[in-house]
Amino acid sequence: MPRCSLMGFDLNRHWVDPSPWAHPTLHGVKQLIVQMYNNPKISLEFYIDIHAHSTMMNGFMYGNIFEEEERFQRQAIFPKLLCQNAEDFSFSSTSFNRDAVKAGTGRRFLGGLLDHSSYCYTLEVSFYSYILGGTTSTVPYTEEAYMKLGRNVARTFSDYYRLNTISERPLAPIPNTRKEKMPSFKCATQRGPGNSHPGRKLQRRSQTNPTELSHSS
């Protein structure tokens, strides 16, 4: 879906109440998603809005903030897995917020509409290039590189559902003297100003991100 319509409306700011006259494509997509959500035969688990970013490099995601801590932490699983699969995806640039100015976006609106089993993201990808993890080398994006990221997103869905299948199996009893550690996520990071360490505990980011406000979705 293009960012602006032929009438000049920013289509990613009118999800709350799209007009069938002024935003017909958005109105139709929203109706379809609501119908799917209300259909007991359909499990609507992911919504990913894809945009290009004009200033930041690499691919990264924006997610939502929830009051339920478990849901808030679980939504970090998909971008962490994607970071393992895609060398151009940056988890350190991924952030989770609920800025008021973003209330009209698909990510924010559907994040509030859908239930706890659904996860909504914006996937941002640089117009220009990405930085290889552990280096300062920039690699220009090409059509093939964008397509490769798309394939890695599909591969991440496979990993995500495989992981969920394993986690839903009955667990064998663990002796009290044994301490199990959660599996760690190893992910390449970028070096540059403003990047935080990916191994940190996921933090809620409710403050406004100036870069996101100016250039992203």
Instruction: Please give the single-letter amino acid code of residue 40.
Output: P
Phi, psi of 104 (to 5 degrees): -90, 5
**60: β partners:** 124
Instruction: Please give the single-letter amino acid code of residue 169.
Output: R
Beta strands in the chain (DSSP E): 46-53, 59-63, 95-96, 119-126, 129-131, 138-140
Spatial neighbors of 33 by CB under 8 A, at least 6 apart, are 44, 47, 110
**CA dihedral (81, 89, 64, 117) positive or negative:** negative
Spatial neighbors of 58 by CB under 8 A, at least 6 apart, are 88, 89, 90, 93, 125, 126, 130, 131, 190
The catalytic residue positions are 124
